[in-house]
């Protein structure tokens, strides 16, 4: 891992950047200028590595993977690249000589909010692994001007503020004007039969330029450098000088504004027509520019597309990039005159799809009329794909219209993107064993019966070099002392840590490390005026705010504890700090109500000194990658409490277990595999299984029965009407008991509540024996060996992409 750069060489490089870009000497530079000069120094080194790596790829004629995702939650680049390049120490020493602190420079970099949560973070973890393992890989997304949003809680309400990251983040982006593409919207399609066959013309369209910006991602101790290519929209038309000169400034700027709005913000609200239209345009903008770019790169090397599927793997991460299937068809058929059947064969062999959800509302559909109007040629291709596929199904299932309707791409004037992905892909994978089983037996069961070999499972993984090696230096020192440093490149080596299960010195050190991480995090919160007790148990639920993730269930547990303490202030209860970190989608009223409940409950508890010494709630505003890197190593307990069968995998569970937190959760997603990895003694499992949930629905679920037949549930739910901090939560009371369909909460908080409380009491009891708790923690750290993104990527390359490493 050590880079052999000398301090003298580094000083010269940084001084050169300061002089060239700012005309400054070291003595004149401020912290922001020094940060950017260091970033440019790193980029120069990465560019040299990338050039050599590209040459190696070209000479080997290696197959390449292109990973498409609407979001990449990359986190800060300076620290990650310095670590992977082995340059952190030499940079720290040189900067110290100039009276700059490296940690201060890390904080100069904005945290790019180019993702919402697990999906975007997973994509970024995979890029890290692809670079480290030296696979030829490029990620594709949009260069959003504003990230998701900056979250501010005002009197309990989530407020969304612009997330402005580019002023400090643009230094990592390399604009590639040599690779600009054109993307077309609207217009109409004209079809003419000639002697050469059917000729398609797209007329009267609106056109924008897609300008690529490259972000380089280094691998650890490797020759590999991956590229994340981010597209920005730019007006293709020349500036309307005539309108401007006549004083009509609005008209002169209209086209420019219409183009640039495409990459303005990640996930614009789609609860109105304009929002739906913009989201669709964003998705097509991404895939059209990307597929054009991939084809241009391929033709530059091979001068033919006949071998396209042999040399190219295109991966769709979730359904957002699904339109790459008809877009690739369009280019092959319209521009390169392949027959429909041959084009379809190439597409199916090239594209693969990861499904990330079983929630019906999260499976994207688009109004047929919207696609027809915005993307007329793409609509025609989707319609053609649907007709040909339904004809195949008719031959297989003659007369079975119900089955054919379920499997069709277009139905009831809606275009189903998940079905499009399945039909147009070579492989479909779930992201945990349980999730893969559900999509095979339930979600895509009809497709599974047609082609079972298409469906496989690849459990998610995390970039352990960021989430362990960079985030938890104290634990890294212990691991280095116990098992050596090889786990940094090969996570399977973490399993050796089990050998220290009975070593009291190691267990004591492990306990001290967790405590020091808690003190550090507490100190950071104190700087923002938030006081918590680092001696308390840190119970962490950090994830996107959604009903199925059941932050509400966690809140109900805390209300139960609060009411118990009100009844008996001297109740024997270890001090606990409940740390929530979550953003709710701007238009998601129920999720925002849960945030309001948690916040007001925290204020109510703070008012009572006797209670706040036992339980305390902190809602962490604006949760991002940087905060996660500080929070997760401090967690004692990892709450992973989704209703069984709803969470596809989860990766926060992996990040906390690798830092020694114990999982308290349901048998859902990757929790099932964590249970297998650590054993039932080292995890706290409660609630129904996915099968039991399914049976509960069949039996007839009614939340009100739990309310009427369980005294503790009745008391907790009833108290919502009384409220906290002067605020009543009648809406949540009604949500739990009635819901939208008269049966109550669809994610069964009340059905699992009794089991949830009982197992939590067991967890608190287990925490008393600190050495035994440290043993459980050690087993979790060692068990994380199987949850590295490196393992996931090797499974993708072997099972789906068929790409050999260049190592």
The sign of the torsion formed by the CA atoms of 373, 377, 380, 384 equals negative
Q: Under 8 Å CB-to-CB from 669, ≥6 apart: which residues?
A: 431, 432, 434, 435, 640, 642, 647, 648, 649, 650, 653
Q: Is 651 a catalytic residue?
A: yes
Residue 95's φ and ψ, nearest 5 degrees, are -65, -35
Q: Is 152 a catalytic residue?
A: no
Q: Is 543 a catalytic residue?
A: yes
Question: Strand, helix or coil at 42?
Answer: helix
Question: Strand, helix or coil at 287?
Answer: helix
Question: Strand, helix or coil at 139?
Answer: strand
Instruction: Quote the CA–CA distance of 344 and 333 in Å, as a whole number.
Output: 9
The one-character DSSP state at 439 is I
Residue 465's H or E segment, with its range, is none
The one-character DSSP state at 240 is -
Measured CA distances, 537 to 518, 533, 661 (Å): 9, 9, 11
Question: Strand, helix or coil at 537?
Answer: strand
Q: What is the largest CA-CA distance in the chain?
A: 91
Residue 236's H or E segment, with its range, is none
Scanning 31-146, the segments in alpha helix (DSSP H) are 31-60, 77-85, 88-97, 102-108, 118-132
Supply angle C-alpha 374, 372, 185, rounded to 5: 25
Residue 440's φ and ψ, nearest 5 degrees, are -75, -40
DSSP line for 317-377 = ESSTTTTHHHHHHHIIIIIT---HHHHHHHHHHHEEEE-----GGGS-EEEHHHHHHH-HH
Choosing from 315, 543, 612, 646, the catalytic residue is 543
Instruction: Quote the CA–CA distance of 523 and 512 in Å, as a whole number.
Output: 16
Q: Is 79 a catalytic residue?
A: no
User: Exposed (0-12), middle (13-18) or buried (19+): which is 698, by Cβ within 10 Å?
Assistant: exposed
Residue 511's H or E segment, with its range, is helix 504-527
Choosing from 281, 655, 776, 791, the catalytic residue is 655
* Residue written as token pair 């009648």: 730
Residue 472's φ and ψ, nearest 5 degrees, are -135, 70
The pair of three-digit structure tokens given for residue 134, joined into one six-digit string: 């030296």
Instruction: Quote the CA–CA distance of 692 and 46 in Å, as a whole number.
Output: 52
Q: Could you tell me if 497 and 482 are in contact, meaning their C-beta atoms sit under 8 angstroms apart?
A: yes
User: Exposed (0-12), middle (13-18) or buried (19+): which is 153, by Cβ within 10 Å?
Assistant: middle
Choosing from 202, 464, 488, 544, the catalytic residue is 544
Closest CA to 615 of 555, 561, 570: 561
Query: What is the SS3 string spanning 451-462?
Result: CHHHEEECCCCE
Q: Could you tell me if 26 and 276 are in contact, meaning their C-beta atoms sit under 8 angstroms apart?
A: no
Question: Strand, helix or coil at 666?
Answer: coil
Instruction: Quote the CA–CA distance of 272 and 270 in Å, as a whole number.
Output: 5
Q: Could you tell me if 584 and 597 are in contact, meaning their C-beta atoms sit under 8 angstroms apart?
A: no
Choosing from 356, 550, 596, 776, the catalytic residue is 356
Q: Could you tell me if 688 and 645 are in contact, meaning their C-beta atoms sit under 8 angstroms apart?
A: no
The pair of three-digit structure tokens given for residue 276, joined into one six-digit string: 């739906």
Choosing from 466, 549, 550, 776, the catalytic residue is 549
The pair of three-digit structure tokens given for residue 394, joined into one six-digit string: 């008719």
Choosing from 354, 651, 663, 666, the catalytic residue is 651
Q: Is 655 a catalytic residue?
A: yes
Residue 179's H or E segment, with its range, is none
Half-sphere exposure of residue 385, counting CA atoms within 13 Å on the CB side? 34
Instruction: Quote the CA–CA distance of 427 and 109 in Å, as a whole number.
Output: 38
Q: Is 356 a catalytic residue?
A: yes
Enzyme catalytic residues? 356, 543-544, 549, 651, 655
């Amino acid at each position: 891992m050590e880079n052999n750069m000398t301090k003298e060489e580094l000083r010269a490089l940084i001084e050169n950047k300061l002089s060239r870009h700012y005309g400054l000497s070291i003595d004149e530079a401020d912290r922001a200028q020094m940060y950017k000069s260091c970033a440019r120094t790193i980029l120069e080194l990465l560019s040299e590595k990338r050039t050599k790596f590209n040459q190696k790829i070209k000479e080997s004629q290696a197959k390449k993977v292109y990973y498409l995702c609407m979001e990449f939650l990359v986190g800060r680049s300076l620290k990650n690249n310095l670590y992977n390049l082995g340059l952190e120490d030499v940079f720290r020493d040189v900067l110290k000589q100039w009276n700059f602190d490296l940690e201060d420079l890390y904080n100069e970099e904005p945290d790019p909010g180019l993702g919402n949560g697990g999906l975007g973070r997973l994509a970024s973890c995979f890029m890290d692994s692809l670079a480290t393992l030296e696979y030829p890989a490029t990620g594709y997304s949009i260069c959003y001007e504003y990230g998701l949003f900056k979250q501010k809680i005002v009197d309990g309400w989530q407020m969304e503020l612009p997330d402005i990251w580019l002023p400090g983040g643009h230094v990592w982006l390399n604009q590639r004007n040599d690779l600009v593409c054109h993307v077309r919207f609207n217009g109409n399609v004209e079809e003419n039969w000639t002697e050469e066959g059917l000729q398609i013309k797209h007329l009267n369209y609106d056109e924008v330029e897609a300008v690529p910006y490259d972000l380089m991602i280094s691998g650890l101790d490797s020759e590999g450098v991956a590229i994340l290519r981010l597209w920005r929209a730019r007006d293709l038309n020349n500036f309307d000088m005539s309108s401007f000169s006549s004083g009509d400034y609005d008209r002169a700027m209209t086209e420019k504004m219409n183009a640039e709005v495409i990459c303005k913000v990640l996930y614009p609200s789609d609860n109105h027509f304009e929002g739906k239209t913009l989201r669709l345009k964003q998705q097509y903008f991404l895939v059209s520019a990307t597929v054009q770019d991939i084809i241009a790169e391929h033709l530059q090397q091979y001068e033919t597309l006949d071998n396209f599927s042999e040399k190219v793997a295109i991966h769709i991460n979730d359904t957002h990039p699904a339109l790459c299937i008809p877009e690739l068809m369009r280019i092959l058929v319209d521009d390169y005159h392949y027959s429909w059947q041959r084009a379809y064969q190439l597409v199916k062999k090239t594209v693969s799809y990861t499904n990330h959800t079983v929630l019906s509302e999260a499976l994207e559909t688009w109004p047929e009329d919207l696609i027809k109007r915005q993307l007329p040629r793409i609509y025609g291709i989707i319609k053609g794909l649907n007709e040909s596929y339904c004809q195949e199904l008719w031959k297989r299932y003659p007369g079975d219209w119900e089955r054919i309707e379920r499997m069709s791409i277009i139905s009831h004037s809606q275009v189903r993107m998940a079905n499009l992905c399945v039909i147009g892909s070579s492989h479909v994978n779930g992201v945990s064993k349980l999730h893969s089983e559900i999509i095979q037996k339930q979600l895509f069961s009809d497709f599974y019966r047609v082609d079972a070999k298409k469906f496989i499972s690849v459990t998610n993984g995390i970039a352990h070099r960021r989430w362990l090696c960079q985030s938890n230096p104290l634990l890294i020192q212990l691991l280095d002392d116990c098992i050596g440093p090889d786990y940094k490149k090969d996570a399977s080596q973490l399993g050796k840590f089990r050998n220290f299960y009975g070593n009291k010195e190691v267990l004591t050190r492990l306990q001290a490390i967790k405590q020091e991480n808690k003190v550090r995090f507490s100190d950071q919160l104190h700087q923002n005026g938030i006081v918590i007790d680092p001696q308390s148990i840190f119970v962490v639920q950090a994830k996107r705010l959604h009903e199925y993730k059941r932050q509400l269930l966690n809140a109900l547990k805390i209300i139960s504890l609060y009411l118990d303490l009100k009844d008996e202030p001297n109740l024997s209860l270890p001090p606990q700090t409940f740390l929530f970190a979550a953003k709710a989608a701007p238009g998601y009223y129920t999720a925002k109500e849960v945030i309001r409940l948690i916040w007001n409950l925290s204020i109510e508890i703070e008012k009572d000194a006797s209670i706040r010494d036992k339980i305390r709630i902190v809602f962490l505003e604006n949760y991002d990658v940087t905060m996660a890197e500080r929070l997760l190593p401090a967690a004692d307990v990892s709450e992973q409490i989704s209703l069984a069968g709803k969470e596809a995998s989860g990766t926060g569970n992996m990040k906390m277990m690798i830092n020694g937190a114990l999982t308290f959760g349901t048998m859902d997603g990757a929790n099932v595999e964590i249970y297998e990895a650590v054993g039932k003694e080292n995890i706290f499992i409660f609630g129904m299984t996915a099968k039991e949930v399914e049976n509960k629905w069949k039996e007839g679920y009614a939340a009100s029965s739990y309310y009427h037949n369980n005294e503790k549930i009745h008391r907790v739910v009833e108290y919502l009407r009384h409220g906290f901090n002067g605020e009543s939560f009648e809406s949540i009371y009604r949500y739990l008991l009635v819901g939208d369909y008269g049966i109550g909460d669809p994610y069964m908080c009340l059905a699992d509540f009794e089991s949830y409380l009982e197992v939590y009491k067991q967890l608190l009891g287990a925490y008393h024996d600190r050495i035994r708790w440290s043993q459980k923690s050690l087993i979790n750290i060692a068990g994380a060996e199987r949850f590295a993104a490196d393992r996931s990527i090797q499974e993708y390359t072997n099972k789906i992409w068929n790409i050999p490493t260049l190592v």
